[in-house]
């Protein structure tokens, strides 16, 4: 059984990215245990070198990183705020990046984004893909779902046939990487 961590990179209680990441994990055709990391459970002081030197690394950052390290794969769906990471995600990312240089613990990653707009968070998806792919040991499949409420149903999944086909292709690439490990 594979252990999959899902992260909806938003602090919204109704995060569509959280729903989308979990949907992707449930869509895998392998036997897996899903651990959803909800960002509001990992709220910490804003990262700074001074704070780290004075107080050390927060326990919540260590715990978040442990879940990443103990997983077999990560499904991360990024919300986009003003063309960048959400503040909640960026802060956690900053804290876990000082624990270990290999932020994602060399685990296969499926990188997603969605939004209510026509671009589906593509700007942050492209930024994150470029950043996370630097010297990464695995290719990082990625997919953006535009117009979330038009194209997604919690009961039926992705309603648009061509988007669903593209999503399943990307999901199969991620699953293939998982299967090889």
Token duo for residue 61:
């950052």
The reported pLDDT for the residue numbered 95 is 98
* pLDDT band at residue 84 using 50, 70 and 90 as cut-offs: confident
The reported pLDDT for the residue numbered 60 is 98
Provide the residue ranges of all domains of the chain, joining segments of one domain with +. Answer: 2-179
The reported pLDDT for the residue numbered 181 is 80
Superfamily for the 2-179 domain: Flavodoxin domain (3.40.50.360)
Q: Alpha helices, DSSP H only, in 2-80?
A: 16-27, 49-55, 59-70
Widest distance between CA atoms in the chain: 53
| pTM of this structure | 0.96
* pLDDT band at residue 82 using 50, 70 and 90 as cut-offs: confident
* pLDDT band at residue 36 using 50, 70 and 90 as cut-offs: very high
Q: Alpha helices, DSSP H only, in 74-141?
A: 87-97, 122-133
C-alpha–C-alpha distance, residues 56 and 63, integer Å: 14
The reported pLDDT for the residue numbered 33 is 97
**Per-residue pLDDT tens digits for 109-168:** 999 999 999 999 999 999 999 999 998 999 999 999 999 999 999 999 999 999 999 999
Residue 83 has pLDDT above 90, yes or no: no
């Amino acid at each position: 059984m594979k252990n999959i961590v899902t992260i909806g990179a938003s602090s919204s209680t109704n995060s569509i990215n959280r729903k989308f990441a979990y949907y992707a994990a449930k869509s895998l055709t392998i036997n897996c245990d899903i651990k959803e990391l909800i960002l509001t459970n990992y709220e910490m002081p804003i990262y700074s070198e001074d704070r780290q030197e004075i107080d050390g690394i927060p326990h919540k950052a260590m715990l978040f990183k442990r879940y990443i390290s103990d997983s077999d794969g990560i499904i991360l769906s990024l919300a986009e705020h003003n063309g960048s990471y959400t503040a909640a995600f960026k802060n956690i990312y900053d804290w876990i990046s000082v624990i270990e240089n290999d932020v994602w613990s060399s685990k296969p990653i499926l990188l997603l984004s969605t939004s209510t707009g026509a671009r589906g968070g593509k700007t942050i998806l492209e930024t994150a893909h470029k950043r996370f792919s630097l010297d990464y040991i695995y290719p990082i499949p990625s997919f953006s779902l535009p117009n979330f409420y038009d194209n997604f149903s919690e009961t039926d999944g992705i309603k648009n046939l061509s988007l669903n086909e593209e999503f399943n292709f990307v999901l199969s690439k991620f699953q293939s990487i998982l299967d090889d490990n």
